[in-house]
Amino acid sequence: MTVFAPVAAAFGAGNVVVVKPSEVSAACSAAVGKLVPKYFDPKVAAVVEGGVPETTALLAQKWDFIFFTGSPTVGKIIHQAAAKSLTPCLLELGGKNPTIVHSSANLEVAARRIAYGRYTNTGFFCTAPDHVLVWSEVKDAFIGHLLEAIHEFYGDDPKVSPDYGRVINHRNFDRLVRLLASGKVAVGGQTDAKELYIAPTVLVDVSPESPIMQEEVFGPILPVLEIDSVEAVIQSVNSRPPALGVYVFAEDASVVERILDATVSGTGCVNECTVQPFVTDLPFGGVGNSGMGRYRGRAGFEALTNTRGVMYHSARIDPALRYPPYAKHPLESRIEAKLAP
């Protein structure tokens, strides 16, 4: 998704591409390296595999456009390198996507969709719900529905579920295990370093100052925090860098509009989360720390097209009025003569 959606937009706009898949996803990188030369003309598509040295070498070249999907930290490096040659960029980064559950929400539906968004692909989705802000009076009911959804999706033991994955590497596994201490485990919490397994986990009694609230989770852990007003939600959302998505679950339209009007994000969803990149009619991308530029569908075509304005003008009519000298133009002289007493 993150490789070939931009490639499709680039091809649609008439470009050739060099693809640099992430070395973190080693198996996917190898597959891209094998399949692209098999199915695409080498004159229009090439693949460069590798890590930091290869990326650094690529960034030293002069490109017409750079498209990057990844973390804000690496996005800044990409942008700085591109700035040396004034190369435009589209940066699709990440962030802590706040997910708001109002007291008017359909709690069962909200829980199912949030659980789907958080635990699909073991939480490795840039648009996944990062944390939940839930109204105090419905917190317990929401947590109950959330636990039911997790059980329905992955059974008594998610470790043996064919629909539940693993953490991508030991570095991320260790990072996520450290975050488990940020609150009280309501469900999950089991880990297996050998298998890189972390159970789908819900944390409650989470402090806004806890470690898990200081970085993008990007894994199968969902912190749930209590909130008691729309203004408190707005303050919480705006206290952090703009995220890729703000998700509001509510049946009260005035609550939805107030939160969306008073916050900033690359995208937003109402009674939904995570899946907005799949709606090709919606431009997708971040703002501020979560990125810049938009793609998907028409937006992708426009992002990867250099719009060139060309003016055609007839040479049959060429009035002298546009040309100097202006102080005493022939037309002006005629007008003055006609107005003279």
Catalytic residues: 92, 126
Instruction: Calculate the dihedral angle through the C-alpha atoms of 122, 124, 130, 134, rounding to the nearest 10 degrees.
Output: -30
Residue 23: CB atoms within 10 Å: 13
Per-residue CA distances from 263 to 111, 254, 255, 257 (Å): 23, 14, 12, 10
36 φ, ψ (degrees, to nearest 5): -60, -50
Q: How far is CA 243 from CA 40, 120, 134, in A?
A: 35, 19, 18
The C-alpha atoms of residue 234 and residue 245 are separated, in whole angstroms, by 14
177 burial via Cβ count (<10 Å: 0-12, 13-18, 19+): middle
**Structure letter (DSSP) for residue 166:** -
Cα 191 to Cα 326: distance, rounded to the nearest angstrom: 82
C-beta atoms surrounding 70 within 10 Å: 18
